[in-house]
Amino acid sequence: MPDPLRLGIAGLGTVGIGVVKIVQAHADLIAARAGRPVVISAVSARDRTKNRDADLSGYAWEVDPVALARRADVDVFVEVMGGSEGAARAATEAAIAAGKDVVTANKALLAHHGQALAESAEAAGRVIRFEAAVAGGIPVIKTLTEGLAGNRITRVMGVMNGTCNYILTRMESAGLPYETVFEEARQLGYLEADPTLDVGGIDAGHKLSLLASIAFGTRVSFDAVELEGIERVSIDDIRLAADMGLKIKLLGVAQMTGRGLEQRMSPCLVPADSPLGQLPGGTNMVVLEGDSVGQIVLRGAGAGQGPTASAVMGDVIDLARGVRMPTFGRPATTLDAAIAAKATAPAEHYLRMTLQDKPGALAKIATVLGESGISINRMRQYGHADATAPVLIVTHKTTRDSIDRALAGFAATGVMVGEPVALRIEPV
């Protein structure tokens, strides 16, 4: 039997213990598939006394993940600690410098330092793999870098944060406001330690920036992702959107346009009967479009111990088999600088507003839209008991600039009650 591939696992939380469990439970299966055994040499976490729901007695313990990364009996450094700086970054850099391959689930680390890490790994003849960092158990990195390698990718989009999808679908099914469901998500342990990473769209933005790099051959440019979270999505919008046959999703879209690379992660409307519209609870979905293949839809668990460890192990077994590939699908030094598109592609928009119920109010709104170059596609005014009228307008395709001009114009009409809401309707 050839020599085993020896792992050093830094981080023994949800994902790290999931990896230990798979290595232990499927040792024979893995050896048969990889052509050699995969074993764990050493592990590291902060607190050695913690009960971790796995037998770790056969592995050396390192207090310092950097020391783990440098061990002579480690071939692959598995980084599952998290965080874009600190131990995760230091240990990953140390692993590359010590000549180890790296498998990580850490999207924050790669979104911020992926280019530098990939360049140093490739200069040293080392490999960084990160399937688990994007959409948990869904093999989207492999699909993009391998299965679709012969395509010019035209668009990548998806729901990549399970917590936000849980919150939005639960708001809809239970008719509950954002604040109540956010609290439920906290009780259920769904939220990251810093919840803004989830609900602010940052975690999903990290993932989108990694997919965009592979899809469009550009350097990871997380700072250029237009980010908007779900904190301001109201139950009213969820109900009224449903009435128009639409669902609200925290949707990431990346596409290369004539104006540059467009990357946005924001609450968008999608048709309720589309695969994205029907995506339930904490599930993730990634939609990939290529010039030859057309549209591919991948759906599955975006988080959790089993699914995320499954993705880590897919990478580990590839390394055991000798499959080696540049981090972002082509040598990092050949990736182009990402020129951010200054404007997003035109789309239909949903506008919700409350108007004073008096003669000429709607006419003023229609005038502002006309002056902003926006044409109305559909419109509804809802029944009301008081002197204010809830109005919903779906526009024809228009730009965000025009929508912003109209929103500014609405404010000057004197007929608005409260702030209007504008959401993009993404063609899917």
**Spatial CA neighbour of 30 closest among 20, 16, 42:** 20
207 counts as catalytic:
yes
- Output 70 or 207, the one with its CB closest to ligand HSE: 207
- CA 40/CA 10 separation, integer angstroms: 11
- The option from ligand HSE, ligand NAP, none interacting with 50 (CB < 5 to 8 A, set by class) reads ligand NAP
Q: How far is the CB of 339 from ligand HSE (least distance, A)?
A: 28
Element (H, E) at 226: strand 226-227
- The option from ligand NAP, ligand HSE, none interacting with 162 (CB < 5 to 8 A, set by class) reads ligand HSE
- Output 14 or 151, the one with its CB closest to ligand NAP: 14
Binding site for ligand HSE (CB under 6 A): 136, 161-163, 192, 198, 203, 302-303
- The option from ligand NAP, ligand HSE, none interacting with 163 (CB < 5 to 8 A, set by class) reads ligand HSE
**Spatial CA neighbour of 288 closest among 101, 131, 147, 111:** 147
- Output 56 or 121, the one with its CB closest to ligand NAP: 56
Task: Tell me the H-state helices in 58-129.
Answer: 65-70, 86-97, 107-123
- Output 138 or 353, the one with its CB closest to ligand HSE: 138
- Are 149 and 292 in contact, with CB atoms under 8 Å apart? no
Q: What is the residue type of 422? A: A
Q: How far is the CB of 138 from ligand HSE (least distance, A)?
A: 11
- CA 133/CA 207 separation, integer angstroms: 7
| Chain residue at closest Cβ approach to ligand NAP | 13
- The option from ligand NAP, ligand HSE, none interacting with 41 (CB < 5 to 8 A, set by class) reads none
Binding site for ligand NAP (CB under 6 A): 11-16, 44-47, 50, 65, 80-82, 87, 105-106, 132-133, 136, 303-304, 308
100, 142, 207, 249: the catalytic one is: 207
* Vertex 288 angle, CA 283 and 292, to 5°: 150
- CA 100/CA 119 separation, integer angstroms: 14
Q: In DSSP terms, which residues pair with 294 in a beta bridge?
A: 290
- Are 205 and 250 in contact, with CB atoms under 8 Å apart? no
Q: How far is the CB of 354 from ligand NAP (least distance, A)?
A: 40
- Output 138 or 406, the one with its CB closest to ligand HSE: 138
Q: How far is the CB of 204 from ligand HSE (least distance, A)?
A: 7
- The option from ligand NAP, ligand HSE, none interacting with 14 (CB < 5 to 8 A, set by class) reads ligand NAP
Q: What is the CA radius of gyration of the chain?
A: 24
- CA 269/CA 265 separation, integer angstroms: 12
Q: Which two tokens stand for residue 196?
A: 């803004």
- CA 152/CA 214 separation, integer angstroms: 11
- The option from ligand NAP, ligand HSE, none interacting with 11 (CB < 5 to 8 A, set by class) reads ligand NAP
Q: How far is the CB of 58 from ligand NAP (least distance, A)?
A: 18
End-to-end CA distance of the chain: 50
Other residues' Cβ atoms within 10 Å of the Cβ of residue 407: 18
Q: How far is the CB of 86 from ligand NAP (least distance, A)?
A: 6
- Output 254 or 368, the one with its CB closest to ligand HSE: 254
As annotated, the active-site residues are 207
